[in-house]
Structure 1
Amino acid sequence: MKIEDYELLLKLHEVGTVRGTAKIVLISQPAVTQRLKYMEDYFNKQLFIRTSKSLVPTPAGELILTHARKVVDQEEAIKSALAQSSGEVQGTLSIACSSLISQRFLPSILGEYTQTFPKVEIDLVTGISEDIKREFKNYHICIIRGEKLKEAVSKLLFEDPLYIFDTEPFPDNQMKERPLISFKSDDSMHDQVDNWLYHHQDNIKTIKKISVDQIETCKQFMQEGLGMAVLPESVSGPLMDKYPHVPLQLDGQPVTRKTWICYQEGVRSLPQVDRFIVGIEQTAFL
């Protein structure tokens, strides 16, 4: 068994489907199925039960998944130890990052980082901050939005002001009734928007909600006149001069989304991690 086989096994368990795993690891679905069959033949055990919705580990599969996690962790540990012992920055850098930050800022940050440290392998996972928080111990670094991670070292990178946009004006001293378009985010974002709307219910009334997956879809729906959308400044710069908008404020203070970089104590002893943290802390985000 190769380390890549164990990594694929863990990814199958994490994602729960062959099709979803194939999309993430960027190989064909038949190739994933073939490699899973090889692993089952190797151990002479069925590793997963194929249900209509997901892959469920068998008792033998659970044992082998535990073994796979140990093998992968030990591989990462020895790579990190070798990176520490040498004078060169190398090894693996694992990052879990908020989808918005990974799309808007991370490409340029990682581009500069990998150019400076070409021997570092990047292991990147993106998603919603709430999901990342639950798995933070599996990564060197987490970049999250909303509330900081209390179980780790958390440093504020920047605060992202929120604005409400529409194709129709926001009239003074007059009720505005429009649909509200929202994108998939963590609960803290929705709580901030709901709280602001509650304190401005004399001016703005949402007559229905339209929910979409991606923030880009949310922006496009707003531009097509389907309703209002609350967007952070980091992704709405080009919209400022084209569409009516109002900054979200409470008690005269802007409502913002905080972005944090979080990591466990001691992880900065790894050169590849420390250099990344130093670089991202020097980044001007807005």
Structure 2
Amino acid sequence: MKIEDYELLLKLNEVGTIRGTAKAILISQPAVTQRLKYIEEYFEESIFIRTPKKLVLTPAGEMILSHARKVVDQEEVIKSSLAQSSEEVQGTLSIACSSLVSQRFLPSILADYTKEFPKVAIDLVTGISEDIKRGHKNYHVCIIRGEKLKDSVCTNLFDDPLYIFDTEPFPKNKLKERPLISFKSDDSMHELVDNWLYHHQDEIKPVKTIRVDQIETCKQFMKQGLGMGVLPKSVSDSMMDEFPHISMKLNGERVTRDTWVCYQEGVRKLPQVDQFISAVLSENFL
């Protein structure tokens, strides 16, 4: 059994389907099925029951999965210990990063980092900050938006002001009624927007909401005149001179999305983690 086989079992249990797991680890569905068959033949036990909705662990599967977790955890511990004792920066660096930050800022940071430390293996997960927060202890470093993690060391990277854009002007002393284009984000972002709209209901009234999956889709829909879009400054600098917009403010203060780098106490003893955090903290984001 290879460490990758144990990692596959953990991913299958996490995702719940062979198709979803294949998509998550970027290999074909038949390849996942074949590897699972090999693992079950190795243990001479069925690990999962295939139901129409998801994979369900058998009693033997629960025991094997528990063993898999220990093997993967022990592998990570020995890698980290070796990296910490080595003069050369190496080992694995696990990062969970907000989708916006991973698309806009992280590529250049990692390009410089991997050039300087080519022996460090990067394990990167991107997604919505709420999802990252739930599993934050599984990563060395988390870069999240919204509220910071309460049980971690957190440093503010930048405050991202919010603007509302449209292809049509924002008239003064007149109610603006337009569709609102909303992209998939965590609850804290939607709460900021809803709160601002509540306090400006005499000025702006969304007649309906168009929900899209990504922030880039929201931008393109707005540019085509389908409605208003609330966008952070970090992804809308080039639009300031092209489209009507207003800065979102409450009580004279800008409404912003905070961005944080968070990690567990003591993790900076690992050289590869310390160097990455230092690189992130030295970056000029906005």
TM-score (norm 2): 0.98
Correspondence 1:177 to 2:200: no
Tell me the equivalent position of 1:101: 101
User: By how many angstroms is 1:53 displaced?
Assistant: 2.3
- Equivalent residue letter for 1:242: E
Tell me the equivalent position of 2:18: 18
Which whole-Å CA distance do the structure 2 matches of 1:235 and 1:14 have between them?
A: 32
Tell me the equivalent position of 1:34: 34
- Equivalent residue letter for 1:236: S
Which whole-Å CA distance do the structure 2 matches of 1:125 and 1:54 have between them?
A: 23
Tell me the equivalent position of 1:239: 239
- Equivalent residue letter for 1:260: W
Which whole-Å CA distance do the structure 1 matches of 2:145 and 2:255 have between them?
A: 13
Q: How many residues align?
A: 286
Which whole-Å CA distance do the structure 2 matches of 1:240 and 1:13 have between them?
A: 46
Q: Map 1:92-171 onto structure 2 (within 5 A).
A: 92-171=92-171
Tell me the equivalent position of 1:285: 285
Which whole-Å CA distance do the structure 2 matches of 1:64 and 1:267 have between them?
A: 29
Q: Tell me the secondary structure at the aligned position of residue 13 of structure 1.
A: helix
User: By how many angstroms is 1:76 displaced?
Assistant: 0.8
Q: Deviations over 1:186-227 (max 9, x none)?
A: 000000000000110010001111111111111111111111
Which whole-Å CA distance do the structure 2 matches of 1:62 and 1:199 have between them?
A: 52
Which whole-Å CA distance do the structure 2 matches of 1:285 and 1:11 have between them?
A: 33
Correspondence 1:57 to 2:57: yes
Q: Tell me the secondary structure at the aligned position of residue 149 of structure 1.
A: coil
User: By how many angstroms is 1:111 displaced?
Assistant: 0.8
Tell me the equivalent position of 1:44: 44
Q: Deviations over 1:96-133 (max 9, x none)?
A: 11111111111111111000000000001111111111
- Equivalent residue letter for 1:87: E
Which whole-Å CA distance do the structure 1 matches of 2:52 and 2:246 have between them?
A: 47
Which whole-Å CA distance do the structure 1 matches of 2:129 and 2:96 have between them?
A: 9
Which whole-Å CA distance do the structure 2 matches of 1:52 and 1:112 have between them?
A: 46
TM-score (norm 1): 0.98
Q: Tell me the secondary structure at the aligned position of residue 236 of structure 2.
A: helix
- Equivalent residue letter for 1:225: G
Listed as ranges, the gaps of 5+ residues in structure 1 are none
Which whole-Å CA distance do the structure 1 matches of 2:59 and 2:103 have between them?
A: 39
Which whole-Å CA distance do the structure 1 matches of 2:163 and 2:64 have between them?
A: 49
Q: Tell me the secondary structure at the aligned position of residue 143 of structure 1.
A: strand
Q: Map 1:224-235 onto structure 2 (within 5 A).
A: 224-235=224-235
Structure 1 stretch 178-187 or stretch 57-66: which is displaced more? 57-66
Which whole-Å CA distance do the structure 1 matches of 2:234 and 2:210 have between them?
A: 22
Q: Tell me the secondary structure at the aligned position of residue 94 of structure 2.
A: strand
Which whole-Å CA distance do the structure 2 matches of 1:208 and 1:120 have between them?
A: 48
User: By how many angstroms is 1:65 displaced?
Assistant: 1.4
User: By how many angstroms is 1:27 displaced?
Assistant: 1.4
Which whole-Å CA distance do the structure 2 matches of 1:106 and 1:99 have between them?
A: 10
Which whole-Å CA distance do the structure 2 matches of 1:85 and 1:144 have between them?
A: 30
Q: Map 1:63-78 onto structure 2 (within 5 A).
A: 63-78=63-78
- Equivalent residue letter for 1:20: G
Which whole-Å CA distance do the structure 2 matches of 1:163 and 1:53 have between them?
A: 41
Q: Tell me the secondary structure at the aligned position of residue 218 of structure 2.
A: helix
Q: Tell me the secondary structure at the aligned position of residue 222 of structure 2.
A: helix
Task: Tell me how large the CA RMSD over aligned residues is.
Answer: 0.9
User: By how many angstroms is 1:57 displaced?
Assistant: 1.7
Structure 1 stretch 263-272 or stretch 65-74: which is displaced more? 65-74
Q: Deviations over 1:237-257 (max 9, x none)?
A: 121111111111111111000
- Equivalent residue letter for 1:246: I
Which whole-Å CA distance do the structure 1 matches of 2:48 and 2:104 have between them?
A: 37
User: By how many angstroms is 1:59 displaced?
Assistant: 2.0
Which whole-Å CA distance do the structure 2 matches of 1:237 and 1:45 have between them?
A: 57
Listed as ranges, the gaps of 5+ residues in structure 2 are none
Moved over 3 A (4+): none
Which whole-Å CA distance do the structure 1 matches of 2:13 and 2:124 have between them?
A: 18
